[in-house]
Amino acid sequence: MIRAKINGISLRVPEGATILEAAEKVQIKIPVLCKHPDLPPTAACGICIVKLKGMNKMLRACCTPIEEGMEIITHDPEIVEVRRSVIELILSKHPNECLSCGRNRNCELQKLAGDFGINEQSFPQYLADIPADNSTKSLVLEPRKCISCGRCVHVCQQMQNVWALSFLERGFDTRISPAGDIQLADSPCVKCGQCSAHCPTGAIFEYDETGKVWELLQDENKYCIVQIAPAVRVAVGEWFGFKSGANTTRKLYAALRRMGFRAVFDTNFGADLTIVEEAHEFVHRFTKEPTKLPLITSCCPAWVDFMEKFYPDMVDHFSSCKSPHQMVGALSKTYYAQKQRLDPSKIVVVSIMPCTAKKHEISRDREMFASGHQDVDISLTTRELARMIKQAGIDFPNLPEEDADHMLGEYSGAGTIFGMTGGVMEAALRTAYDYVTGGKLKNVDFENVRGLQGVKEGTIPVGSHEVKVAVAHGLSNVEYVLNKVREAKKNDRVPPYHFIEVMACPGGCVGGGGQPYGVTDAVRNQRGDGLYEDDREHKIRYSHENPFVKKLYKEFLGEPRSEKVHHLLHTTYRPMPEYKR
Amino acid sequence: MTGMASNNSKHDSTVFMRTQAFGSGFNDKRISKEHMKLTTIDGQQIKQAVGKWKDKPGNLIMMLHEVQGCYGYVPREVALKLSHEADVPLARIYEVITFYNYFKLQPPGKFNIAVCMGTACYLKGAPELMQELKNRLSIDEGQTTGDGMFHLDGVRCLGCCGLAPVVAVNGRVHAKVKKGDIIDILSKCKKEANS
Ligand code: SF4
Ligand code: SF4
Ligand code: SF4
Ligand code: FES
Ligand code: FES
């Protein structure tokens, strides 16, 4: 332990703690801009400077470890003045466009300018003339609004290991861009959106489609259906005063109905369906086609994209299951349309997702048009939905609770945990256990695939067999798992796993790139806890026991893995070039 | 941070390896067709540059140095191949290229003439070739002719010492060059420019 004083307050903190962390312990907030609680310091901005008592030198609190006996001053008139100048200098390179920026009212730069009462332009303004990058349907890059904090570069290179984003040039001319000033769509970007979730300003923002959805909701010729992903329900509340992890599922159903959606479905139903298909696929390979093991999950489109670019040799190991919301989309325009006697060409399916990659997924290839129409028409992020609820004047916290609509709305406890790392694996194992042994588990909670460790490995007894599993989340963690598989295959050995789950975002979808800002591991855990609680509260905790899933097979699909099932619910993969240019 | 300690091999090593069991090298399926069409690029040269510097500190800069020596700038196709050959993300390569003013992304002249000054070539008469080029073009090493047609550089070993002395024009290697060949090489370039 280290003893020190901050603003005269004595404290003891563990060795290695930064001044910033130590100050938080004694309720002192040092302003930060480039530092994100989720990421190591980049020490780029200089707003967090503090002084040592009796010395003139200023230190950056975010990256300086506190030392024995230090006496630190975090606030005095001079420090405040320096911080103000830092902000003014940043503003001299930043367009004054708050009112027409997507980050209005939750931009970290704007907030600081407000806190410091900046009310004039003290330095002449110099704006770089760099065009916006609208090349993807997921994210918009506006390098003009970039303050060179370095978060996105760290996220894309280290956390996600994609290396799509980088800094070009240096000093005053530094700018973010894919390698060599190409467009994001031509880069290796997998559209996970983690960069947008960590950017302090509006420089990286989701491709906003709320306007389009409002228009469609007004159109009397359209029948708008909506579905919400597992992770949305435990996060959207954060923008309405709820704690992270508060389960707002049934308020969401009510809000969506008030916004004008004619049918409110739940992607968790699709998750149950995915599990039934994937568990069948797993059991089939496990018992009949062991050379196609390990089976690798495919419900995360950013992960699919990553695999096609960086691990194309794993194509055969991928589950052919589409992601849950694509299944619900395809069924909305076939099964549901038939039952309700609706013209599928008039149906619009909107998905509310924690995810920016799903915006890309919905038109990624012709298999996403299995119903004969685009199966999911628009995919919104949690953040876009939260803005729409506000625009609609809905008093969200006080809404009555409602239920989802029948047929594609009910879900099991297994379906809801899809949103957290380890959840897909856990749900699939529950069902696979039943398929293999014909019996029920004593305890359906698989604790060893839960939690935020980057890679989780384990052996799960299933009847007389042992199933070896690995779970990875955050794309930088994939390498460890898949290299083991490659190594084994190269040397003609049996791969060390039977089943691998990967989600691109750290924590899984609860930490998705389209979720409310300010994610940390604590927040990821709280959101995850919300899902596990939802699971525990469900009487039915096996996907294959969801009565509406059973009904769907009986009335419409036939057997799992049948031809119709394949056409509507499964897809294929192909190697993709890392760079298109 | 969530489990980032695990195994991102690029984390803190100077050689940024993206370990790949799957087809590394020039026939890598992940490079789109576009990039394969530039036939003047001698893959062997890049391979050798990579081999030479791979395990040395500051390696990427040295590799780029060699590439630029050969082409007069760093063509995108070459940067892509270098990325795959050396297992360095392309983004990192461009970070380095744009960080240093020295590296160029545009060709400085229409024809970039690189005279190998490596030991083998040096002993077999490279200085004489260089002098001849300087005289005929009326420029010094590192300069471009007034009409932007020729750019002249002396470079490190190009990795084909068996063919020494060598002169590369836009990456195309001329082997066992004699002083008298220089005028030919230059007039061929001019003819090509006019056609
Ligand atoms: S979306 Fe993901 S892969 Fe694409 S630039 Fe952002 S962090 Fe990188
Ligand atoms: S785009 Fe955003 S996260 Fe990336 S460096 Fe600029 S301000 Fe920081
Ligand atoms: S982990 Fe979830 S939120 Fe993140 S990219 Fe994958 S599907 Fe989207
Ligand atoms: S927050 Fe410490 S330097 Fe930016
Ligand atoms: S010394 Fe010229 S090619 Fe090696």
Domain borders along chain A are 2-75, 91-206, 211-579
- Helix (H, G, I), strand (E, B), or coil: what is residue B95? helix
Domain membership of residue B79 (yes or no) is: yes
Q: Which of B72, B99, B126 is the last residue of a domain?
A: B99
Ligand 3 binding pocket includes A304 (Cβ within 6 Å): no
Of all protein residues, the one whose alpha carbon is nearest to atom 1 of ligand 4 is A32
Chain B, nearest residue to A508 by Cα: B2
**Please, which residues bridge with residue B25 across strands?**
none
**Are B40 and B77 in a shared domain?**
yes
**Are B93 and B115 in a shared domain?**
no
Please spell the DSSP secondary structure of A164-200, one letter per residue.
-EEEES-GGG-EEEETTS--GGGSS-----HHHHH-S
* Distance in angstroms (rounded) separating the CA atoms of residues A416 and A531: 6
Torsion angle of the four alpha carbons A524, A36, A142, A509, in this order, in degrees rounded to the nearest 10: -10
Render pLDDT for A439-468 as a digit per residue (tens, 0 to 9).
Answer: 888 888 998 899 999 999 999 998 889 999
* Distance in angstroms (rounded) separating the CA atoms of residues A439 and A320: 26
Counting ligands in written order, the one closest to the CA of A152 is: 2
- Helix (H, G, I), strand (E, B), or coil: what is residue A453? coil
What is the nearest CA distance from B31 to chain A, expressed in angstroms? 5
Distance from Cα B12 to the centre of ligand 4, integer Å:
21
* Distance in angstroms (rounded) separating the CA atoms of residues A135 and A80: 41
Render pLDDT for B72-128 as a digit per residue (tens, 0 to 9).
Answer: 889 999 999 999 888 899 999 999 999 987 898 877 778 989 999 999 999 999 999
Domain membership of residue B71 (yes or no) is: yes
Residue numbers in chain A where pLDDT is lower than 50: none
Domain membership of residue B55 (yes or no) is: yes
Ligand 1 site, CB within 6 A: A 139, 155-156, 160, 162, 164-165, 189-195
Inter-chain contact A454–B3, Cβ cutoff 8 Å? yes
Question: Which atom in ligand 4 lies closest to the alpha carbon of residue A61?
Answer: 2
Query: According to the model, what pLDDT value does residue A13 have?
Result: 95
* Distance in angstroms (rounded) separating the CA atoms of residues A497 and A485: 8
Inter-chain contact B94–A579, Cβ cutoff 8 Å? no
Chain center to CA of B188: 22
If you search the block for the tokens 């130590």, which residue do you land on? A22
> CB-based contact (8 Å) between A476 and chain B?
yes
Counting ligands in written order, the one closest to the CA of A157 is: 1
- How many angstroms separate the Cα of B110 from the Cα of each of A61, B97, B98, B105, B146? 52, 21, 22, 14, 11
Question: Which atom in ligand 1 lies closest to the alpha carbon of residue A163?
Answer: 8
In chain B the first and final C-alpha atoms are separated, in Å, by 60
Strands B167-169 and A139-141: unpaired
Query: According to the model, what pLDDT value does residue B42 have?
Result: 63
If you search the block for the tokens 């076939």, which residue do you land on? A334
Residues 6+ apart with CB under 8 A from A204: A139, A140, A141, A142, A152, A195, A196
Q: Retrieve residue A324's tokens.
A: 């849950």
Specify burial of residue A380 (Cβ count, 10 A radius: 0-12, 13-18, 19+): buried
Helix intervals (H) in A354-513: 357-361, 382-391, 413-416, 423-437, 478-490
Inter-chain contact B31–A577, Cβ cutoff 8 Å? yes
Domain membership of residue B37 (yes or no) is: yes
**Are B133 and B160 in a shared domain?**
yes
Ligand 5 binding pocket includes B114 (Cβ within 6 Å): no
Q: Retrieve residue A510's tokens.
A: 């609860």
User: What CATH number does the domain located at A211-579 have?
Assistant: 3.40.50.1780
Of B2, B22, B95, which has the smallest distance from its Cβ to A167's Cβ?
A: B95
Q: Which of B46, B77, B99 is the last residue of a domain?
A: B99
* Distance in angstroms (rounded) separating the CA atoms of residues A206 and A187: 17
Domain membership of residue B106 (yes or no) is: no
* Distance in angstroms (rounded) separating the CA atoms of residues A158 and A513: 16
The complex's ipTM?
A: 0.86
Domain membership of residue B49 (yes or no) is: yes
If you search the block for the tokens 């940390």, which residue do you land on? A520
Domain membership of residue B104 (yes or no) is: no
* Distance in angstroms (rounded) separating the CA atoms of residues A458 and A467: 8
The reply to whether CATH 1.10.20.60 applies to domain A91-206 is no
Inter-chain contact A454–B6, Cβ cutoff 8 Å? yes
Residue numbers in chain B where pLDDT is lower than 70: 1-42, 57
Q: Which of B67, B99, B131 is the last residue of a domain?
A: B99
**Are B159 and B78 in a shared domain?**
no
Domain membership of residue B88 (yes or no) is: yes
Is residue A382 within 8 A of residue A353, CB to CB? The reply is yes
**Are B117 and B50 in a shared domain?**
no
Chain A, nearest residue to B88 by Cα: A163
Query: According to the model, what pLDDT value does residue A89 have?
Result: 94
Query: According to the model, what pLDDT value does residue A513 have?
Result: 98
**Are B21 and B69 in a shared domain?**
yes
What is the nearest CA distance from A439 to chain B, expressed in angstroms? 35
Strands B167-169 and B172-174: antiparallel
Of A164, A474, A580, which has the smallest distance from its Cβ to B2's Cβ?
A: A474
Q: Which of residues 323-352 of A touch B (CB under 8 A)?
A: none
**Are B34 and B58 in a shared domain?**
yes
* Distance in angstroms (rounded) separating the CA atoms of residues A414 and A426: 8
How many distinct structural domains can be found in chain B? Answer: 2
Which active-site residues of A does the annotation give? 278, 281, 299, 319, 358, 361, 367, 509
Ligand 4 binding pocket includes A48 (Cβ within 6 Å): yes
Torsion angle of the four alpha carbons A152, A154, A160, A163, in this order, in degrees rounded to the nearest 10: 90
Please spell the DSSP secondary structure of A8-34, one letter per residue.
TEEEEE-TT-BHHHHHHHTT-----SS
Q: Retrieve residue A428's tokens.
A: 């699939």
Q: Which of residues 54-113 of B touch A (CB under 8 A)?
A: 76, 79-80, 89-95, 97-99, 105
Chain center to CA of A153: 17
Which range of residues forms the domain containing residue B125?
Answer: 111-194
**Are B93 and B118 in a shared domain?**
no
Residues 6+ apart with CB under 8 A from A24: none
Distance from Cα A353 to the centre of ligand 3, integer Å:
9
Counting ligands in written order, the one closest to the CA of A203 is: 2
Pick the CATH number of A2-75 from 3.10.20.740, 3.20.20.30, 3.50.50.60, 3.90.850.10: 3.10.20.740
* Distance in angstroms (rounded) separating the CA atoms of residues A414 and A92: 52
> CB-based contact (8 Å) between B9 and chain A?
yes
Distance from Cα B125 to the centre of ligand 5, integer Å:
11
CATH of the domain at B170: 3.40.30.10
Of all protein residues, the one whose alpha carbon is nearest to atom 8 of ligand 3 is A355
Strands A455-462 and A465-473: antiparallel
Kindly state the helix (H) or strand (E) to which residue A3 belongs, with its residue range.
Answer: strand A2-6
